[in-house]
Amino acid sequence: MAGVFDTGVIIAVFAGGASFLYFVLTAWQSDARRTRRVLRKTRVTPVANLVDGMLACVVGKVELVDGDGETLTAMITRKPCVAYDTTIQFFRGNDFSVPERVDVTRKMVPFTVVDATGRVRIDAPQAALCNKPAARSERFEERLIEPGATIRIVGSVRIEPERSDHVEHGYREHGRVRATLTGTAKWPLLVDVED
């Protein structure tokens, strides 16, 4: 009888360990974690060195546009933020094995990222957030970027002249320029919070 009990305990421990290992591997291989690992290895470009058309990684502090831009309110945490990514899974009854439906809501407002060399405007309809979730359960997961956070962001650079309509500029005069990081549906902005 003791041998059967020991075998049952060993099988239970092995099954529990295998389940835990599967959970860890699945979490490690998730899209957000893979993107985060790639972002951590990407070379950072100072804002002052941004060139039109390049794909660049910038690290800096999140500020609202002109200091008083609008913010969003995250769906689940209800925190003010400049971007959020909320995934909600809907299950049928008590069967949590496969969701019946998955709703993903991503929203973002324009904001700026400031580093020691300057500021870059962030303007895209949405971004792929890969930072740690602010809220998580078996039914939902929400990531957000709050004003004041230091972030690492990758996007396509667009440089535009910044001229006032009230001042005339000569042929050789160069006005100030404004750098913007943007993304598309195919190549979205990638964002992570610096720890």
Question: What is the per-residue DSSP string for 62-111?
Answer: EEEGGGT---EE-TTT--EESEEEEEEEE-STT--SS-SEEEEEEEE--E
pLDDT at 144 over 90: yes
Q: Residue 165's pLDDT is what?
A: 53
Is the confidence at residue 24, as pLDDT, over 50? no
Contact 36, 131 (CB under 8 A): yes
CA distance 34 to 6: 40
Q: How far is CA 54 from the centre of its chain?
A: 20
Question: What tokens were used for 10?
Answer: 């060993």
Q: Which of 98-107, 112-121, 129-138, 167-176 is predicted least confidently?
A: 167-176
The answer on pLDDT for 167 being more than 60 is no
**99 or 10, greater pLDDT:** 99
d(CA 169, CA 158): 22
* pLDDT band per the 50, 70, 90 thresholds, residue 17: very low
Find the mean pLDDT for residues 161-187: 64
* Contact by Cβ (8 Å): 189, 124: yes
The average confidence (pLDDT) of the chain is 78
Residue range 39-62, pLDDT digits in tens:
777 889 999 999 998 889 999 999
Q: Is the pLDDT of residue 173 over 90?
A: no
The pLDDT value recorded for residue 193 is 92
Per-domain residue ranges for the chain?
Answer: 1-41, 43-193
How confident is residue 183, by pLDDT bands cut at 50, 70 and 90? Answer: confident
The answer to whether 83 and 145 have CB atoms below 8 angstroms apart is yes
**pLDDT tens digits for range 110-141:** 999 999 999 999 988 878 898 999 999 888 89
| Least confident window among 34-38, 105-109, 140-144 | 34-38
- Give the model's pLDDT for residue 18: 41
Q: Is the pLDDT of residue 67 over 60?
A: yes
pLDDT band at 149 (very low <50, low <70, confident <90, very high): very high
Give the tokens for residue 165: 């309509």
